[in-house]
Chains A and B, each alone.
Chain A
């Protein structure tokens, strides 16, 4: 049961007025006035179009916006449903804003939403980011229907990715979760999510809400926890994901540290589960998959490669504590390769990650320092991957990712060995 003390009196009052609902949709915000109107409109049309008989509530946990975001949220209204080829809603469209105090963060927002889901006995929930440029009403259906009608507990998004988009997820997080947890989840860091009310309640009961979770860590924790607790997972295709343009390298180190740190943290939490798990299976994928022409991502490969080469040598004293001697030698050899011959083999990449995970588990050095040593190596692998697939199309890149995933799976026993090796054990 939700701890009522975690929600404000005003929030509770608003929830009381709403009462039991079938569907709860959450949009956490913090100064999103430029995009919130479109997101709320899309959700409202989606709920009306696909769930017009259900009792729905749209909740906006806001981290203290000063740009009027909550006011816009409350006042967005669809004037003419007929022009949007949908009927007018049968029921009242409930909207609740819930400002929370303190540092704006996803964990506080999600805790509010899950508490609301528990109190309102929501059957299905969906969470949307406030700044999505590509959201359509169909996303509402894609994320909620598998829960509401098909009995799934967690719906993870599947996107059409640009050729080299999301390499951290596709080349590390997703294959590693697939190999260790046995579920091939394509977007474990996706910011859109569908989940059942009972899973939301399960999350609430976990002892993580007072811990500091990172922006990206919560999604990984939710996905892996759902797997471990034997909830039903699936994926839903949402089409292309359009985000504000950003270049590779913009705080890539911070992102790698946060995402991989969260994943390694989950490995600790779920050690008893993943070590016994063998093989992997694909998840049911809902939705009609289509491709649209997407502008390719631009990379400064020269810069990425130079950073890798220079940082590897600088980090040797730290890497000696993390990697086995053989792996370190091989990594250093890769760094020595000429541009044309540059190649970071899959097998070496997987071993590198697994050794980092094991070292993180054993806390061979300060974990923050350990995670800071990973981004340069990640840059090396990215550089190699781009070079290798420069002329490949998106489908071919997907095949390469599949091959990499199999490598993660094949080498899982290696991770188990390294995981269990003593602190002063063989290197």
Chain B
């Protein structure tokens, strides 16, 4: 794999769960051997990195985010050797691998917690946060509002309360204890030594608690992350840390430090605003959030996404915006979960190919590294009748055959039912059928990713938002060195005209990137473009 310390800045990341990708041994659950067999598909799709959801031993009460052994593989997904083989094969194809590091909490089944709860005098007692009173940290909000009433849970074994920001079966680690820091560093080193390229740091804002605060984004938390980063830099090169901090950009900005904390962080507030903009048919939500996004160090990068394994989170929106999103995207109450919407991209776009393309076009051209969620490249649907977020975690649909080509097991044996409704069912939506023709969503996505990767402008360039009078049209310019790319997007369901002030680039010729067609050169007059419903253009501006 070519060496590049900033590889994550140009990456197109593909997020998947081993369990749901491909079942090679026919027991109904995907595993590393199956995933390895599908690496050619991912290489062909054009992505450059794979982000694996948790695959560690776990009671699986939170889809693997409740880890009971940090340095092993859940037996259902194979053995450590299977992982090593997968990693080697991925690297051989030029694919980097990002794994999960859940460092805020463990499962209550983890031996650390079992020891800690065994007695108040246990040596690991202080690895977690305990209290006889539940009055502590009252200002900390409850995150899983649908299931949890308090951030404290009663432990009947040691007859005390333990602190948890997520489910009550996920006790928070105590980072005030230096031993915890060293243990977590040991876990990181284990995976990085194996060759993992990046670690997604789960729920980083909540590492440290302090009385009288919201217990989020505390300076002490940043200090923990900086120390971990120093350790990584001392021992490794070309490794990446990705922060999951569902916060406002100004708060997330802190997780980059001065380039000495995390390399990447998700840009959560941008995501719902892309959905909002396309429904409102108005660029305002996107423009507002981008204008309120601070600059980040050159060596850092935003992680941007449309959908992921969780609900479409609406924490970073106003109450009015959240109501609007629910009414427009989740009128069926069942589609709502916590403060979000548990649906995939295609159903959210009502299966409208034009809107799906526009959303992906926005994703691939915004500042940051795009993250695709498995199955969205073929327009997979969801199942809101499954509990929690399982409706967006159903098996990958490879073909129209037995179990969607995912597994040879009996259908009853599958870890999750396959999507089988007439619109999004595997007979209609699958990889095999979409490989057959050039105009399928899958083929189009390949072209889009190829274009994205054809230049570093998207990953590293500056962004300037243009302001055509027509607010249904979003236009922006990405620039890196002498390279300029102009994006013009019609957010509306109707054809639109827009006049762009491009006089600064007078004499340049816009070359439409998908077809390499030359458009009329830019002159003194406003540059008039007409766009069909949800149409978008990417133009390379070339001075001929």
Contact = CB atoms under 8 A, between A and B. Distances in A.
Interface of A: 13-14, 16-20, 52-53, 55, 87-92, 94
A87 B318 contact: yes
A92 B283 contact: yes
A90 B280 contact: yes
A90 B469 contact: no
Contacts of A89: 284
7 contacts: A19-B494, A20-B494, A53-B280, A90-B276, A90-B321, A91-B282, A92-B284
Interface of B: 276, 280-285, 318-321, 324, 468-472, 492, 494, 496-498
Among A20, A90, A94, residue most surrounded by chain B Cβ atoms (within 10 Å): A90
Contacts of A20: 494
B497 A90 contact: no
Contacts of A17: 468-471, 498
B320 A52 contact: yes
A92 B282 contact: yes
A147 B498 CA distance: 31
Contacts of B471: 17-18, 91-92, 94
A161 to B, nearest CB: 37
A88 B469 CA distance: 21
A141 B493 CA distance: 28
A19 B469 contact: no
A90 B471 CA distance: 13
Nearest to A92: B471
Given A88-B318, A90-B284, A53 B469 contact: no
B472 A19 contact: yes
Contact of A91 (B280, B469, B497): B280
A89 B320 CA distance: 9
Contact of B496 (A13, A19, A87): A19
A87 B282 CA distance: 17
A130 B130 CA distance: 64
Contacts, number: 46
Nearest to A15: B469
Contacts of B320: 52, 87, 90
Please provide the 10 A-B residue pairs with the shortest distance between their CB atoms, ordered closest to farther. Answer: A17-B469, A92-B471, A87-B320, A17-B470, A91-B282, A92-B284, A92-B282, A87-B318, A91-B280, A91-B284
Nearest to A54: B280
B179 to A, nearest CB: 45
Given A87-B320, A88-B318, A90-B321, A19 B470 contact: yes
A176 B468 CA distance: 51
Given A87-B318, A91-B282, A92-B471, 7 more contacts: A13-B469, A16-B470, A17-B498, A18-B470, A55-B282, A89-B284, A90-B284
A16 B320 CA distance: 28
Contacts of B284: 89-92
Contacts of A94: 471
Contacts of B282: 55, 90-92
Contacts of B472: 19
Nearest to B287: A92
Contacts of B276: 90
Nearest to B319: A87
B324 A90 contact: yes
A373 B190 CA distance: 103
Nearest to A17: B469
Nearest to A94: B471
A91 B319 CA distance: 15
Nearest to A48: B320
Nearest to B497: A16
Contacts of A18: 470-471
Nearest to B323: A53
A58 B72 CA distance: 63
Contacts of A19: 470, 472, 492, 494, 496
A91 B472 CA distance: 10
A91 B284 CA distance: 6
A359 to B, nearest CB: 54
B321 A14 contact: no
A17 B498 CA distance: 7
A13 B526 CA distance: 12
Contact of A53 (B324, B496, B497, B498): B324
A91 to B, nearest CB: 5
B320 to A, nearest CB: 4
B288 to A, nearest CB: 8
A53 B494 CA distance: 19
Nearest to A96: B469
B534 to A, nearest CB: 14
A149 to B, nearest CB: 15
B492 to A, nearest CB: 7
A4 B493 CA distance: 24
B149 to A, nearest CB: 28
A150 B468 CA distance: 35
Contacts of B283: 92
Nearest to A82: B318
A92 B468 CA distance: 13
Contacts of B318: 87-88
Residue of B276, B280, B324, B492 with highest tally of chain A CB at under 10 A: B280
A221 B285 CA distance: 42
B529 to A, nearest CB: 13
Contacts of A52: 320
Contacts of A91: 280, 282, 284, 471
A14 B319 CA distance: 32
A116 to B, nearest CB: 15
A19 B285 CA distance: 18
A87 B471 CA distance: 20
B79 to A, nearest CB: 51
